[in-house]
Copies of this chain bind each other. A is one copy, B any other.
């Protein structure tokens, strides 16, 4: 390993730390000598990738200098593609979101049309914030389907015509002179929660996104686990043994029972059957229902809505119990649009997991609401991108992280 590569590793250590680090901290984290650390720190400081400040505690003598990431080192564009909407954001070098925007967009219009509109959104947001394109260091994209991470190509995404193997990276290369990285959307959310959402150290977590569909992101030993085809965490079509048709052609899929689309369909049915005055009124008013209407039903204490969300949570909890028995994680995080409807869902999921998991597997298990909420995808997308920018320099040290 040569000098520049080691410098990038020192940057990674500083970046991942929860607090500013002294040279002594860095030496003990990397196994380098203090004089070697000084050299790398000097280089990173002169490149403006880190900042030093004399605010540390002293044991008598001169206060030690503490180093942190320079969050102003450059900007990252983060994009979260969803099947029905897209979210675009700009983040600083420490994953703080400067600006973001969400807009309805239909992925099955095909990649070219969708990405062109996303690109317009991005350019508009950069302009509005006075950020020059050449100061964008990387683009991170979350895609709602399996992705071959090394190439950034979608792999057989269901119900999204035209996206299979579409070269998303090349699309962005037409407009931006910086790397673009693409990963599965739930993977990115899991990475974001793991890196920036928690104020404690967790090495094995499962992030469950409950939106229109249902997916999971898996962190094993502190690293994202993708599986051999990049489809790990694809839990939406796990068989829950009930006789409900799924759009995938199978029956009894988790998604067909407990996802946002399923909740909306079931709500409509309840409204039409006259089992909920609240839902019937909303259906009459709007002509259609979404999971959000069921959320409003919860707030209005509509018993049919409450029961519907309870059933949904119980089904998810039962599947989660299997995954908890299998992987014995320390944390399960529940995120996504449906998860934001309220605490009843979380309570039912917890109940399902605790009833059906082995006591030993849940001894140290916490099941919590996502802490980053709607922003998990953008923050995770930015984190993943910066990670890759630094890693690519560890692998190929001659490349600069920041264009000069």
Interface set of A (CB-CB < 8 Å, partner B): 146, 155-156, 203-204, 216, 218, 220-221, 225-235, 237-242, 250, 318-319, 321-323, 325-330, 356, 358-361, 363-364
Contacts and interface: CB of A to CB of B under 8 A. Distances in A.
A116 B364 CA distance: 34
Nearest to A223: B221
B325 A235 contact: yes
B241 A328 contact: no
Given A227-B327, A228-B330, A328-B230, A360 B155 contact: yes
The winner among A216, A235, A327 for most chain B CB atoms within 10 A is A327
B326 A238 contact: yes
Given A234-B361, A360-B234, A228 B204 contact: yes
A302 to B, nearest CB: 29
A239 B321 contact: yes
Question: How many copies altogether?
Answer: 2
17 contacts: A146-B360, A203-B228, A204-B228, A220-B220, A220-B225, A227-B361, A229-B360, A229-B361, A229-B364, A231-B361, A232-B326, A232-B328, A234-B328, A235-B325, A239-B322, A240-B241, A241-B242
B358 A325 contact: no
A117 to B, nearest CB: 28
A325 B356 contact: no
Contacts of A318: 239
A325 B238 contact: yes
User: By DSSP majority rule, is chain A's interface helix, strand, loop, or mixed?
Assistant: loop
B361 A235 contact: no
A69 B322 CA distance: 41
A321 B156 CA distance: 19
Contacts of A250: 356
Contacts of A228: 203-204, 328-330, 364
Contacts of A146: 360
A321 B363 contact: no
Nearest to A363: B229
A234 B329 contact: no
Contacts of A327: 218, 225, 227, 232
Contacts of A322: 235, 238-239, 319, 322-323
